[in-house]
Amino acid sequence: MKKKKKSYFIKIFFVFLIFEFFKLFNILIVEGNSGNINNLTNTSLPTDLDNSTVTTNVSDLGSQTDNQGYAGEFFGIKVPIGNYYFIKATIERFGNKLGRQPQNEEEKEELIWEQLLLSFIAFNENITVSDEELELAIREVLKNENVDFDFKTDKDNYKEWTEKRLKETPEVFENQLKHLIQIEKLRKNILEKIEPKLEDEQVYKEFLKEYGMLNLEIAKFDTEKEADEFYKKVAGRTNLWEKEKKKNPKIFLKTGLVSIAFLVDIWKIPQDAALNMLKRNISDTYPTRPIYKGYGVFKILEKNVASEEKFEAVKGESLEKLKQRKKISAFEEWLKNLKAQANLKIYEKKN
């Protein structure tokens, strides 16, 4: 019985925290905007955005059956649609400051809910934005826009600029920046707490990625089977590679002399494969591996293997780069787990 009571009070306390977060978030959205949040972006938003949840009783949260006015839910708590559109507008204005930009509507939707979750975590971690941090962010935006007035002393011009250029009030613009600063501070806090364990071999591989270079010719195919058949035909036969190139020159691509990191990040060649190519001889062919689109068979045209002396000189730099890469991977894994635990449900498709 005591365990049940304890569990009940924990749930009530958790609901209270989430309610307080949404209440504060709704205030953040509309403060100084006379309750009108239809001008958050250059595109018009629906006129039925509702912030009435700030007056919802704590006991009602999570138990309501009517989804009208809500975008979805996580952790079993309904998310007001105004919060959803605030984040959507911020992303459309500033993009994704924490990673790659969304390439389609599906990725944008995922990013919106990701940032809603991060805002929730930042609120519970008591992460705030100082006046100095906000001022710095505002000045950076204005500088990039080649604005020559001082927003602190010339309020009228500042208001006119935000309303004409951004189609929103200064208050909403500043709250968007606060949101971005807040989730960036959360990310920074998490990264600082991560201390990856690194082996010397890992550090050396990182060094080779940055300073090892290859110039490859790639025969590109849509399927792995086609690539495998081509490799079996030309492996160890340079003259056959050249004959095939004359027959079908369109499938052959050259990378130029670039770093292993470039081949991995841009061409999407698996890291182990690219590092193994460094050990091969000029003119050698390398078997099928996936690339950025389809599959490739590789011919090594040129290579530059960095020396041991170079490694000793830049070992500390390679260590830091690897550490940062590992930290970012750990953060992405943490975020993936957070989204899984949140049990996200989206009620309806948004425009």
Has this prediction a pTM greater than 0.85? no
Query: pLDDT tens digits, residue range 15-49?
Result: 445 544 444 444 344 333 322 222 222 222 222 22
Report the run of H or E that residue 90 belongs to, with start and end. helix 81-94
Q: Which domains occur in the chain, in start order?
A: 2-193 (no CATH), 213-305 (3.10.50)
Q: What does the angle CA 142 – CA 147 – CA 149 come to, to the nearest 5 degrees? A: 105
| pLDDT at res. 66 | 60
Point out the residues of the chain with pLDDT beneath 70. Answer: 1-67, 349-351
| pLDDT at res. 349 | 56
| pLDDT at res. 134 | 97
Query: pLDDT tens digits, residue range 56-100?
Result: 222 233 334 466 789 999 988 889 999 999 999 999 999 998 888
| pLDDT at res. 203 | 80
| pLDDT at res. 100 | 82
Task: Tokens for 350, please give them.
Answer: 């948004």
303 forms beta bridges with 214
| pLDDT at res. 30 | 34
* Alpha-carbon gap, residue 120 to 298, rounded angstroms: 47
Unique residue bearing structure tokens 């992303």: 91
CA distance to 74, 121, 349, per residue, from 345 (Å): 6, 18, 11
